[in-house]
């Protein structure tokens, strides 16, 4: 959903104000071609300087349909949200408290809507703050981790399958920078929730991981009866 929001901002030409506010919030003002300088104050001050940020957010409709697909302005998003351009935008944009508060509301609304329209009344949600902030009362929380080199190889393979060729070192540097930003942001930082089960996926196949997760869910449900 954050990637869909970043795509929506990009389509409407609203990316730069959000990147500027994000850089100021994290204490660094970045201008392409000129390096970095000290930030210009706190986030509230930035909103006063760029009041249209909140208006931009309200204009972009991000939701889920009954099948759990992410919709941007009523249409399902595809591989466009998985490209390098969105990779570079999503982390700094999502660091903004204004953005996170808006998206948490949308994510909880999506959960409630799916609960009303589907008989099982719940969802499987993936994201860097799902267990710690968005759904703190989730039945089961799992924190998936892996060696950064392994993650880079996976991302490189995904991009290669879409016809995008990048070096492994470049992909790894990008992942490390995203981890750094997401871990240090003030709003909903990347953390492992205290009650989450941490699983290192390095060198593990999907079938093995799926069975492990299903076993955890069966045990959790049995314990709640």
Please write the tens of the pLDDT for every residue from 119-136.
555 678 888 889 998 999
Is 214 contained in some domain? no
**Percentage with pLDDT > 70 across the chain:** 83
Is 224 contained in some domain? no
The conformation of residue 132, written as its DSSP 8-state character, comes to I
d(CA 95, CA 99): 7
Is 116 contained in some domain? yes
pTM value is 0.69
Mean pLDDT of 131-160: 93
Is 153 contained in some domain? no
Which residue segment(s) compose the domain that 24 sits in? 1-120
Tokens 């008989």 identify what position?
A: 119
Is 87 contained in some domain? yes
Reported as type and span, the H/E element at residue 29 is strand 28-31
Nearest to 190 by CA among 177, 199, 181: 181
Is 94 contained in some domain? yes
Least confident segment among 23-27, 179-183, 210-214, 217-221: 23-27
107 versus 168: the higher-pLDDT residue is 168
Tokens 């997401």 identify what position?
A: 182
pLDDT at 202: 95
Residues counted in the chain: 225
pLDDT at 155: 92
Nearest to 122 by CA among 106, 108, 133: 108
Is 23 contained in some domain? yes
Is 148 contained in some domain? no
Query: Domain count of the chain?
Result: 1
């Amino acid at each position: 959903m954050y990637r869909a929001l970043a795509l929506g901002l990009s389509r409407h030409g609203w990316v730069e104000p959000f990147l500027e506010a994000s850089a100021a919030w994290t204490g660094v003002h970045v201008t392409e071609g000129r390096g970095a300088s000290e930030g210009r104050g706190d986030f509230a001050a930035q909103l006063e300087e760029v009041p249209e940020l909140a208006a931009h957010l309200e204009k972009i409709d991000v939701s889920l349909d009954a099948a759990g697909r992410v919709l941007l302005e009523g249409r399902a998003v595809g591989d466009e949200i998985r490209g390098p351009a969105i990779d570079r935008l999503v982390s700094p944009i999502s660091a903004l408290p204004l953005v996170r508060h808006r998206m948490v509301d949308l994510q909880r609304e999506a959960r409630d809507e799916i609960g009303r329209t589907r008989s099982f009344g719940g969802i499987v949600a993936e994201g860097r703050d799902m267990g710690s902030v968005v759904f703190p009362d989730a039945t089961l929380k799992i924190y998936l981790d892996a060696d950064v080199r392994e993650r880079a190889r996976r991302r490189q393979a995904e991009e290669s399958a879409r016809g995008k060729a990048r070096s492994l070192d470049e992909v790894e540097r990008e992942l490390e920078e995203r981890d750094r930003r997401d871990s240090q942001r003030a709003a909903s930082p990347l953390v492992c929730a205290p009650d989450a089960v941490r699983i290192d996926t390095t060198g593990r196949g999907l079938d093995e991981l799926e069975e492990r997760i299903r076993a955890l869910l069966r045990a959790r449900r049995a314990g709640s009866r």
